Amino acid sequence: MRKMISALALSVLPLWALADGMGSLESFMKESQAGKAQFTQTVTSPGRDGQPGRTKTSSGEFQFQRPGRFSFHYTKPFEQVIVADGKTLWMLDKDLNQVTQRPQSQALASTPAAILASATDLNGLRKDFNLGNAPDADGMEWVQAEPRSSDNQLRQVRVGFAGGKLAALDIVDSFGQRSLIRFSQLQLLPSLPASTFHFTPPAGADVLKQ
């Protein structure tokens, strides 16, 4: 009887309650074609001589459309914009009125953006990352992704899910700097207007091509 009750209880649980981090990541990649969220990013530099590293916090809005289009619009403490339109990666520093332009194909393969917006399934992601479940922490299920390329600037990326929803990115680069991005008010949508990812450099801006 107890086994029957347990089986019945499991059968009525929502699917995300049974999933691990990899299962949540797979569902996110397959089921989320577009979306937007608010984010807060905390960047911590590695400490030196026994002293803790410095911490900087910023916030803004994130939007994405598979495959390969996304934007990070930082609004605090100062405005910056990062846009991938499918062909080109644009980065605007508004205070400097300076734009950096790079071919998207050369910039995104082994980056956190590939997890959020570029790859459409786990097999596509495995071309650039070694993937595996990481221990649950902070009320989230985690996936650890390590770049396959030895010359990548990233050391590792952890992707956190809460209740099956994307909740965090925890990124450590090759210099030991940590960037923790927490997402809130996530809305998954069928699509976003094409204009969302259209970028035109501001008048008079310096455009640097890389």
Taking residues 135-147, report their average pLDDT: 93
Q: Answer yes or no: is 2 within a domain.
A: no
User: What confidence score (pLDDT) does residue 109 get?
Assistant: 59
Give a yes or no: residue 182 inside a domain.
Answer: yes
Quick one: pLDDT at residue 3?
Answer: 33
Cα angle value 61/126/117 (rounded, 5°): 20
pLDDT digits 0-9 by tens, 1-53: 333 333 323 333 333 344 589 999 999 988 889 999 999 999 999 878 777 88
Q: What is the pLDDT of residue 108?
A: 67
Residue 50, Cβ neighbours under 10 Å: how many? 5
> How much of the chain, in percent, has pLDDT values that exceed 70?
88
User: How many domains is the chain partitioned into structurally?
Assistant: 1
Q: Does residue 111 lie within any of the structural domains?
A: yes
Percent of the chain residues past pLDDT 90, beyond the cut = 58
* Each residue's pLDDT tens digit, 106-139: 776 557 777 788 777 888 888 888 999 999 999 9
pLDDT at 73 over 60: yes
Q: Is residue 209 part of a domain?
A: no
Query: What DSSP string runs through the chain?
Result: -HHHHHHHHHHHS-HHHH--HHHHHHHHHHH-SEEEEEEEEEEEPPPBTTBPPPEEEEEEEEEEETTTEEEEEEEESS-EEEEEESSEEEEEETTTTEEEEEEHHHHSTTSHHIIIII-SSHHHHHTTEEEEEEEEETTEEEEEEEES-TT-SEEEEEEEEETTEEEEEEEEETTS-EEEEEEEEEEEES---GGGG---PPTT-EEEE-
Average pLDDT of span 156-185:
93
pTM of the model: 0.83
Domain housing 69: 17-201
Give mean pLDDT, residues 65-91.
92
In a domain? residue 3: no
Give the per-residue pLDDT at 208.
92
Instruction: Assign residue 149 the CATH number of its domain.
Output: 2.50.20.10
Contact 174, 53 (CB under 8 A): no
**Is residue 138 situated within a structural domain?**
yes
**How does the average pLDDT of the chain come out, rounded?**
85
